[in-house]
Amino acid sequence: MPATEATGAIRIAPVKGALDKRRFLSLVDTIYQDDRHWVAPLRVEVAKLLSPRKNPFFDDGEARFWLAWRGKQVVGRISAQINHSHLKLHRDETGHFGFLEAIDDQAVFDALLATAENWLRGRGMRRIAGPYSLSINDEVGVLISGFDSSPMVMMAHAPAYYAERVTQAGYRKIKDLHAYRLDLRAVNEVREQRLHRAAALVRADGRVTTRRLDAAAFDADMRLLLDIYNDAWEGNWGFLPVTEREARALIASVRPVIRPDLTVIAMIDGKAAAMAVALPDINELISDLGGRLFPFDWIKLLWRLKRARPKSARVILAGVRKAYQDSIASGAMISLMLDDLLTAARAIGLEMVEFSWILEDNLSATAISRAGAPLSKVYRIYAKDLAATAAPAD
């Protein structure tokens, strides 16, 4: 639709060229300028997600990106994408939207979402869901509670008005994702001793053991962790297995920051059966960089990666192989891994551990709650059925 400054009409235009990409990346500076809990992700990393050459998503996926303009001002952005791996696995004729950011104006949200809907509808999709930026293995969900704290590494953030704006555009909840935060400075001593005793009983049996990631066999152990993840999560809501190229990209991205003492592999009779991986919260190290590394902030980041010690960590991967799920052995491994992680966290001076994200109906969260970690943030995935009308968007 045409836009004029006089009427304040909204124009949606595709992202074309380097200047538009910079506008797409920098819009968050406007949206979050007064949000003291916002941590700008590194723009170089977000730019990789948009790049078909650098992002493994595009091996079996396609996406389009748009900006919303009011006059000469960018007031919103969005992506629409089709993940053909998702379609092959779930057969639900669902496309996705993501990277949704906009000023507090329902008309802007309506125009952006309608553009994404039209593009997906024109490519045969019958439903739209999101936000996924770009896949379920990236940042997902709209924050609907927990606005009073900053997001941890690779977790999303949003102004409080986003949920209402998306709902008003005709979207409904399909799934909530939970984040639990354990304040190690305030853990109830009785609960902690109970966890230690449970872990000690498991160790005494001798069948279940744990080990840390072997730095000398980093690539092999990372692939083992991802193999357990793919097996453990198969069949879960929205699951997509980590592909070979995604595995290579993930291994490269976590290599500078992963700590072997915060990575636990549980063994049954000597065979790897479960795992839990926590990453130091890199957001603490980049919170003052504004998403930029140039011209000199990359020096700060390199120094901080080597010298600084974040006070928090996020458990980003956890799972038990299907063969052991819903068994006594599963509970034993979870207790043992949780005890190992918290002991290591205390030893290196961590004050907070976040477990995220966890499906709202995942019963394994019970063990985390019993350890004293309350629900701290909720992220919502929305969906909308697509009618068979309207022309496709380009």
Is-contact 320 330, C-beta < 8 A? yes
What's the rounded Cα separation, in Å, for the pair 37 and 284? 11
* Longest CA–CA separation in the chain, Å: 76
What are the pLDDT tens digits along the chain (394 aa)? Answer: 333 333 479 999 999 999 999 999 999 999 999 999 999 998 988 999 999 999 999 999 999 999 999 999 999 999 999 999 999 999 999 999 999 999 999 999 999 999 999 999 999 999 999 999 999 999 999 999 999 999 999 999 999 999 999 999 999 999 999 999 999 988 877 677 777 787 788 787 888 999 999 999 999 999 999 999 999 999 899 999 999 999 999 999 888 889 999 999 999 999 999 999 999 998 898 787 777 666 555 556 665 666 678 999 999 999 999 999 988 888 889 989 999 999 999 999 999 999 999 999 987 777 788 778 899 999 999 999 998 655 556 6
Report the run of H or E that residue 324 belongs to, with start and end: none
Is-contact 260 213, C-beta < 8 A? yes
Q: How far is CA 33 from the centre of its chain?
A: 22
- For each of the domains in the chain, give its residue range(s) and CATH number, in order of start: 10-178+380-385 (3.40.630.30), 182-378 (3.40.630.30)
DSSP 262-300: GEEEEEETTEEEEEEEEEE-THHHHTTTTT--TTTHHHH
Q: Is 178 exposed, middle or buried (0-12, 13-18, 19+ CB in 10 A)?
A: buried
What's the rounded Cα separation, in Å, for the pair 331 and 333? 5
Paired tokens of 390: 């309207």
What angle is formed at CA 308 by the lines to CA 304 and CA 309, rounded to 5 degrees?
140
Is-contact 42 285, C-beta < 8 A? no
